[in-house]
Amino acid sequence: MIMGRSWIALTVLQLITFLGLFYIVPLIEVIQISLSSGGWTEVIWGQLFITFLKFSFTQAILTTVFCLLIGIPTGYALTRLQPFAKKFLSVLILIPFLIPPMSILLGFVIIYEPNGLLAQLLGFQLIDVFGTLSGVVLAHTIYNISIVTRLIASNFESLDEGKITLAKSSGASPLMVWRYVYLPHILPSIYASILLVFLLSFNSFAVVLMIGNVKLQTLEVMIYSQSRVRLNYGLAAKIAIIQLLINVLVTIAFIRITKEPKYTGTYRDPPKVSKKLRILSTGWIFAVILFTWQSILATVYQLSRTSGRASIFDGNYSSLLGTSPLRVIENTLFFGVMTGLLATSLAISLLVQRLFMSGRTTSYVLGFISIMPMMSSSITLSLGLLLAYRSTSFFSDDIWIFIVASHILASLPFVTQTVLTGAKQVPTEYITLSQSLGATKLGTMRYVLLPLLAPSIIVAFLFGMAVSFGEFGATFFLVRGEWATISIGIQRLFATRSNFLPLQYSLILVLITLLSFSLVERLRK
C-alpha cells in the first residue's frame, strides 16, 4: 500500500535530512576548510598549540587521577561500609554531575575568587583559581567525582561476597583483599571512569573559558578563540581535526584495552560493619558530597544574602543579555522542549527503521550515532555550522534553528539509547502477531508499539530536554540577538555575580535540570 510505504520512507528522510544537513555537512565543511590551506606544520609545532595541547592533556589526566583517588574509596564506602541513610547519600552524590557546568562555575567562582566566600572565611586566598592549572583541575574534579563514584559503586554492588569470605578466611590482609579481589573486580568501572572523565575534561569548554583567563585553553577553547575571535577559520579547522583525531584515538585505544564489565553474581549484603566504621564512612561520604555540592550551596547561600535589585522581572540587564531576563528563561524552555521533541522523534525514526527495514543500513546508522559524541565536539560542530551556512538567510535571521540543531545532536546519543533500550524490552513477537492479525506497519506502531514504548519515549524526551538546558558550548558559539539561554545569561552576567539575577538563573537552571532528571528516574522504574 502506498500509504504504508511512504511513512517509513518519511522517517528515513527525516533522519537523513537532519543528520546530513546538521552533522555531515558541517563536519565535511570543517574538514574541507582545514585541508584548503597548508600550514599544518605551523599549527602542530606552533607555540600556542603545543602549550594548549599539553595543558589539555595535563589537566585531563590530573582530574582523572584525583577523581579516581576520591571516587574509589567513596564508591567502596557507599556500597560496602554501610553508611547511614545510604539511599539518600547515593542520590545526593550523583546530582552535581547532572547540573549544567555554568551553574557549577558560578558557585565555584563565588567561593574561590579573591574576595570570595573561602577568602572571607579564612581571611586569605587559599588558592588562586583564575588562570591556574590547580583552578581548572579543582573545578573539573568537583564536577566529575560524582559520576566516578556512581560507576565504582555500581560495580562494587555486583561483587560476589563469596570471594571476599574466601580471601579473608585464607588469611588475606585488607591490602591483599584490595589488590586481589576488589581492584580486579572494579577494573571495568575504573576504565569507564577514566575514559569518561578524561574525555569530558580534555574537551572542556565552559570551565576553561571562564576561569582559564586566556592563559589556559583547551583545544576546544582554542578552536573557539581562533575562529570566532580571531577569524582564523583555517587554523581553527585544523585544530578541530586534530582534536577529533585525538578523541577517536583515545576512545579506540580504550575500547581495545578494556574488557566487558563482568556483572557476575547478585548483590548480597556484606557482613555487618562496626558502628565506628559506619560513622566514619558516613562522615567521609558526607564530606565528599559537601565537596561536590559546594557550588550549589554557595549559590544558595549567596542568594540568601544578596539584595541586589536585578531579578527576572527587571529590565536593567536587558542590554547585557540581549533580551529581557524572562525571555531568557523562555528561550531555555523553548529550546529544551524542541530538543526533547525532535530528538525523540529522530530516535523513533531510527527505531522504525530498525524494526521494519533490513538490518545493514540501520546498524550502520545506529553505530554512527553512538560514536557521534566522541567524534564531534560541540565547538567543532558549531564551527562547521557557521562555515557551512553563514551565507544563508536562515543563519542570519533564524539562528535559533541552528542552536536547536546543535542541542539535538548533543542529546541524540542519549535519547536514542533510551528509546532503543526501551524497545528491546518489547518482544518481536508482538510485531509478528500484530501483522498476522492484519495490522499494517503503521497500525502496529500506533496500536501496539508506541503505547508500550510510551514510558521510554517520555524518558527520552526528558533526557533531551535536560541536555538542552545545560548545553553551553554550541549555544555560546552560535547565539545572537534575543536567543540567549540561561547558561548564556549566567555567563554574560558573570562579572556581576554578586547580584541577584545570575544567582537566580543558576538556581533555576539547577532546579529545572534536576526536575527533568528526577522524572527520568521515576519513570524508569
Q: Among the candidate windows 166-174, 406-414, 415-423, 481-489, which touches other proteins by CB under 8 A?
A: 481-489
Among 20, 39, 131, 367, binds other proteins (CB under 8 A): 131
Q: Among the candidate windows 209-217, 239-247, 284-292, 414-422, which touches other proteins by CB under 8 A?
A: 209-217
**Cβ neighbours, 10 Å, residue 256:** 7
State the minimum distance, in angstroms, from the CB of residue 393 to other proteins. 6
DSSP-derived secondary structure letter, 160? -
Question: Between residues 133 and 333, which has the closer beta carbon with respect to other proteins?
Answer: 133
Q: Among the candidate windows 79-87, 91-99, 213-221, 294-302, which touches other proteins by CB under 8 A?
A: 213-221
Q: Which amino acid is at 246?
A: I
480 belongs to the binding site for other proteins (CB under 8 A) = yes
Number of residues that bind other proteins (CB under 8 A): 71
State the minimum distance, in angstroms, from the CB of residue 188 to other proteins. 11
Question: Between residues 131 and 162, which has the closer beta carbon with respect to other proteins?
Answer: 131
Please state, in angstroms and as integers, the Cα–Cα distance from residue 442 to each residue in 14, 313, 352, 439, 512, following that order: 16, 47, 10, 8, 35
For 341, the grid coordinates are 521533541
264 belongs to the binding site for other proteins (CB under 8 A) = no
**Cβ neighbours, 10 Å, residue 106:** 28
319 belongs to the binding site for other proteins (CB under 8 A) = yes
For 264, the grid coordinates are 557476575
390 belongs to the binding site for other proteins (CB under 8 A) = yes
Site string (155-194) toward other proteins, x via CB under 8 A: ----------------------------xx--x-------
Q: Is the dihedral of CA 371, 377, 380, 385 positive or negative?
A: positive
Element spanning 285, H or E: helix 275-305
Residues in the chain: 525
| CA 383 – CA 401 distance, rounded (Å) | 15
> Can you count the helices (H) and strands (E) in the chain?
27, 0
Question: Between residues 241 and 493, which has the closer beta carbon with respect to other proteins?
Answer: 493
Among 209, 310, 465, 508, binds other proteins (CB under 8 A): 209
Of 199, 493, 221, 491, nearest to 382 by C-alpha is 221
Site string (28-67) toward other proteins, x via CB under 8 A: -------------------xx--xx-xx-xx--x------
Among 344, 376, 491, 516, binds other proteins (CB under 8 A): 491
| CA 118 – CA 519 distance, rounded (Å) | 35
Q: Which of residues 416-475 bind other proteins (CB under 8 A)?
A: 427, 429-430, 432-440, 443, 447-448, 451-452
| CA 456 – CA 419 distance, rounded (Å) | 6
